[in-house]
A and B are shown apart, each in its own frame.
Chain A
Amino acid sequence: MNGCEDKIASIELWLDGELSGAESESLRVHMAACAGCSEARRRLEKLQSTLTGVLLSEAQRVDFMPFWRAVQLRVNEKRPWYQDALDWMRGVLPASRVAWVVPAVIVLLLAGVSLESYWRGGAGRNAFATVESIDAYGRNVALLREYDTKTTVIWLYQDQEGENEAAEETAPSGPAF
Chain B
Amino acid sequence: MELTDRELVQQCQAGEMSAFQELVSRYHQKVYMVIFGLLRNREDALEVAQETFFRAYRKISGFQGGSSFYTWIYRIAVNLAIDAQRRQKRNPLDFRESMDGLLESQGEAARDPFADFHDKELREKLTSAINDLTPEHKAVIVLRTIEGLSYKDIGEILGCSEGTVMSRLHYARKKLQDKLSAFL
Q: Is there contact, CB below 8 Å, between B25 and A56?
A: no
Q: Is there contact, CB below 8 Å, between A9 and B28?
A: no
Instruction: Name A52's contact: one of B36, B130, B145 (CB within 8 Å).
Output: B145
Q: How large is the interface on B (under 10, 10 to 19, 20 to 34, 35 or more residues)?
A: 35 or more
- Inter-chain CA distance A114–B28, complex, in Å, is 56
Main secondary structure of the interface of B (DSSP, over half): helix
Q: Is there contact, CB below 8 Å, between A47 and B180?
A: yes
Closest residue of A by beta carbon distance from B80: A90
Q: Confirm or deny: B30 has a beta carbon within 8 angstroms of a beta carbon on chain A.
A: yes
- Inter-chain CA distance A70–B51, complex, in Å, is 9
- Inter-chain CA distance A138–B88, complex, in Å, is 13
Residues in B with CB closer than 8 Å to A50 are 119, 122-123, 126
Closest residue of A by beta carbon distance from B91: A164
Residues in A with CB closer than 8 Å to B141 are 51
Q: Which of A80-109 contact B (CB under 8 A)?
A: 87, 90, 95
8 cross-chain pairs, A with B, having the tightest CB-CB distances, nearest first: A59-B29, A74-B54, A43-B184, A55-B33, A59-B33, A71-B53, A162-B89, A70-B50
Q: Chain A interface (Cβ within 8 Å of chain B)?
A: 9, 12-13, 16-18, 43-44, 46-48, 50-62, 64, 67-68, 70-71, 74-75, 87, 90, 95, 137-138, 160-163
Q: Chain B interface (Cβ within 8 Å of chain A)?
A: 21, 24-25, 28-30, 32-33, 36-37, 42, 46, 49-51, 53-55, 57, 83, 86-90, 102, 105-106, 119, 122-123, 126-127, 130, 141-142, 144-146, 148, 150-151, 166, 169-170, 173, 176-177, 180, 184
